[in-house]
Structure 1
Amino acid sequence: MDDEAAEIELLEQNLNKTREISQRMTSILSSFDTRLVKLEKSILPLYNSTQLLTKRATNIESALQKIDEVASNQEGIAAEEALILRGPQPSQLGVYKEALERLNASIAFKASDRDSRDTARLVETGAKKLAQLYTKLVAEGSSGTPPTGIDITSSPFPPELLPTLTPLVAFLRTLPVPATYPSHPAAPAILTTLKEAQRGYADMRGNWIKKCLESQARWIVERAETVDGVVAGKEFGKWVDSILNVAEEEYQLLNDLAPLPSSSLLSSTYNTLLTPVLGLFSSTLSSLTSLIKRSLHKYTFLALSSYAALLASQSRWDDILIRRAGRKDKDNDFREGMHSLRAVCLRSFPEFIVDIKSAGLGPGKGGELSTGLADFTISTVQYMERIPDVRDAVGSALLTLGDGNWKMGDGMAVGKGSKLGDGDQQIILEHFTYDVVNTVVSSLTTLSRTQKRPAFGSIFLLNNISYLRTRLLESDVDIRSLLSKPTTEILNSNFRTAKAAYFDLNFSPLLQALAEEKGSSGGKAATKERFTRFFDLFEEVKERHRMAKVLEEDRDVREQLCEEVVKLVVPSLQRFTQRNREKEFSKNPSKYIKMSAEEVENQIRSFYS
Structure 2
Amino acid sequence: MAVSSGTRQAADEEARAEVEVLNSRLEKTTQLTKKIQASLGRLESSGKSVQDAVGPLYNNTQKLQTIGSNIDSILSTIDKIRQPSEIKSNEEEMIRKGPEKAGLSNFMGSVKRVNQALSQMEQTNLRSNQQAMADLRRLLKAGNAQLEGHFQRLLQDDSQKVEPLYYITKEKPFPMLSQDKTTRLGLISSHIASASRQSRSDSPILQAYANVRGPYLTETLQNLASASVNTARKKTPDAIYRQGTNGMATYAKGMEGAFLAEYDNICALFTRDEWSRVFNLTCQGAISELARTNRELNSHIKSNLSTDCFLAYEIVEVVSTLSQDLEGRTGELKQSFSAALKPIRETAKASLGELLEDTRRKINSVPMIPQDGAALPLTSDTMTRLQTMVDFLRPISGIMISIGDGGWKSGVNSMSDQAPSLNFFDVGADGKQLFAKYCMDTIDTLLSTLEQKAKPLLKGRAVLGVFILNNVTAIDRMIRNSDLGSILQNRMTNVERWHKTGASLYSGAWKEPSSQLLDVQYTNRGSQRPPSGSAATIDSAAIVKSLSSKDKDTIKEKFRLFNSSFDDLVAKHKVLSMEREVREFLGRNIQQMIEPLYCRFWDRYHEIDKGKGKYVKYDKSSISAVFLSLV
CA deviation map 1:29-54 (0-9, x unaligned): xxxxxxxxxxxxxxxxxxxxxxxxxx
**Per-residue CA distance 1:396-432 (angstroms, 9 max, x = gap):** 43444344454449xxxxxxxxxxx998545544544
Identity across matched positions, percent: 18
Q: Give the Å deviation of 1:371.
A: 1.1
**Is the contact between residue 210 and residue 281 of structure 2 (CA under 8 Å) also seen in structure 1?**
yes
Contact 1:103/1:123, CA 8 A, preserved across alignment:
no
Measured after TM superposition, the shift of residue 280 of structure 1 is: 0.7
* Structure 2 residue 288 is matched with structure 1 residue 279: yes
* Cα distance, 1:154–1:140 mapped onto 2, change above 3 Å: farther
Given residue 588 of structure 1, which amino acid in structure 2 is its aligned partner? K
Amino acid corresponding to residue 399 of structure 2 in structure 1:
A
1:220, 1:236 within 8 Å by CA — same for their partners in 2?
Answer: yes
Amino acid in the other structure paired with 2:264: Q
Cα distance between partner residues in 2 of 1:347 and 1:106: 64
* Residue 490 of structure 1, aligned match among 481, 486, 494: 494
Residue equivalent to 2:575: 547
- Counterpart of 1:61 in structure 2 is none
Where does residue 351 of structure 1 map in the other structure? 354
8 Å Cα contact 1:289/1:303 also seen in 2: yes
Mapped contact 1:462–1:498 kept (Cα < 8 A): yes
Offset of residue 343 of structure 1: 3.2
Contact 2:147–2:188 (CA under 8 A) maintained in structure 1: yes
1:147 is the counterpart of 2:164? yes
User: In structure 1, how many angstroms separate the alpha carbons of the residues matched to 2:103 and 2:290?
Assistant: 43
**What is aligned with 1:218?**
226
Alignment partner of 2:305: what SS?
coil
1:97/1:171 contact within 8 Å kept: no
Structure 1 residues 579 and 509: alpha-carbon distance in aligned structure 2, compared to 1, 3 A threshold: same
- 1:18-29 to 2 correspondences below 5 Å: none
Residue of structure 1 in register with 2:503 after alignment: 499
Counterpart contact for 1:134–1:165, Cα < 8 Å: no
408 and 85 in structure 1: CA distance in 2 versus 1, 3 angstrom threshold: closer
Of the candidates 332, 335, 338, which is equivalent to residue 335 of structure 1?
338
Cα drift, residue 252 of structure 1: 0.8
* Alpha carbons 1:234, 1:306 under 8 Å: kept: no
**CA separation in 1, counterparts of 2:288 and 2:553?**
90
Question: Aligned with 1:366: secondary structure?
Answer: coil
Deviation at 1:242, TM superposition (A): 3.4
Deviations 1:49-78 (A, max 9, x none): xxxxxxxxxxxxxxxxxxxxxxxxxxxx99
1:304-315 equivalence runs, <5 A: 304-315=313-324
Give a deviation string over 1:277-317, Cα, whole Å, max 9, x none: 11111111111222233343443333333334444444345
Choose the corresponding residue for 2:612, options 581, 588, 592. Answer: 588
Match of 2:446 in 1: 440
Aligned-partner SS, 1:280: helix
Report whether the alignment pairs 1:365 with 2:371. no
Which structure 2 residues correspond to residues 44-123 of structure 1 after superposition, within 5 A?
A: 85=97, 88=100, 96=103, 99=106
CA contact (8 A) 1:527 1:585 kept: no
- Alignment CA distance shift 1:202-1:471 (3 Å): same
Q: What is the CA–CA distance in structure 2 between the aligned matches of 1:312 and 1:283, rounded to whole Å?
A: 19
Aligned runs of 1:169-568 on 2, under 5 Å?
A: 169-172=185-188, 175=191, 178=194, 195-196=204-205, 199-226=207-234, 228-229=240-241, 231=243, 235-256=247-268, 258=269, 261-316=270-325, 318=327, 323-324=331-332, 332-357=335-360, 365-366=367-368, 371-408=373-410, 424-426=430-432, 428-450=434-456, 451-472=458-479, 474-482=480-488, 485=490, 487-505=491-509, 507-516=510-519, 529-552=557-580, 555=581, 558-568=583-593
Give the C-alpha shift of residue 457 in structure 1.
0.9
Instruction: Write the deviation string for residues 200-243 of structure 1: whole angstroms up to 9, x where unpaired.
Output: 44233222222232222222223334263462697535533432
User: In 1, distance between residues paired with 2:116 and 2:568?
Assistant: 118
CA contact (8 A) 2:114 2:140 kept: no
Letter aligned with residue 293 of structure 1:
K
User: Matches of 1:407 and 1:107 in 2, distance apart?
Assistant: 72
Question: What's the TM-score once normalised by structure 1's chain length?
Answer: 0.64
SS of structure 1 residue aligned to 2:459:
coil
Match of 1:6 in 2: none
**Per-residue deviation at 1:131?**
6.0
User: Which amino acid in structure 1 is aligned with residue 354 of structure 2?
Assistant: E
Indicate conservation of the 8 Å contact 1:224/1:232, yes or no. Answer: no
Amino acid at match of 1:275: Q
Structure 1, unmatched stretches of 5+, are 1-76, 90-94, 183-187, 410-420
1:395 Cα deviation after fit:
3.8
Cα gap change, 1:584 to 1:539, in 2 (>3 Å): closer
Task: Give the letter aligned to residue 310 of structure 2.
Answer: F
Query: How much has 1:453 moved relative to structure 2?
Result: 2.0
Q: How far off is 1:247 after superposition?
A: 1.4
**Cα distance, 1:456 vs structure 2:** 0.8
* 3-state SS in 2 of match to 1:465: helix
The answer to whether the Cα contact below 8 Å between 2:400 and 2:435 also exists between their aligned partners in 1 is yes
Checking the alignment, whether the CA contact within 8 Å between 1:153 and 1:246 is kept in structure 2 is no
In terms of mean alpha carbon deviation, does 365-374 or 523-532 score higher?
523-532
Looking at structure 1, the residues matched to 174 and 325 of structure 2 have their Cα atoms a distance apart, in angstroms, of 23
- Kindly indicate whether the alpha-carbon contact (under 8 Å) linking 1:81 and 1:122 is maintained by their aligned counterparts in 2: no
Residues 372 and 575, structure 2, Cα contact 8 Å, conserved in 1: no
C-alpha offsets along residues 63-100 of structure 1, whole Å, 9 cap, x if unaligned? xxxxxxxxxxxxxx99x9799948659xxxxx946655
Point out the more displaced range, 142-151 or 344-353: 142-151
Instruction: Judge conservation of contact 2:175–2:261 (CA < 8 Å) in 1.
Output: no
CA RMSD of aligned residues (A): 5.0
With 208-217 and 148-157 compared, the bigger mean Cα shift is at: 148-157
Partner of 1:22: none
Alignment partners' CA distance in 2, 1:105 and 1:311? 47
Structure 2 gaps, min length 5:
1-89, 122-128, 412-423, 523-546
Aligned with 2:310: secondary structure?
helix
With structure 2 as the length reference, what TM-score do the two structures score? 0.62
Residues 106 and 137 of structure 1, relative CA distance in 2, 3 Å threshold: closer
Find the aligned partners of 1:481 and 1:564 in 2 and give their Cα distance.
Answer: 30
Task: Please give the secondary structure, in 1, of the residue aligned with 2:492.
Answer: helix
Q: In the aligned structure 1, how far is the partner of 2:212 from the partner of 2:587?
A: 74
Q: Following TM superposition, by how much is the alpha carbon of 1:107 offset from its aligned partner in structure 2, in angstroms?
A: 7.8
- Return the alpha-carbon distance in structure 1 between the equivalents of residues 407 and 233 of structure 2: 30
**CA distance in structure 1 between the aligned counterparts of 2:280 and 2:218, rounded to whole angstroms:** 14
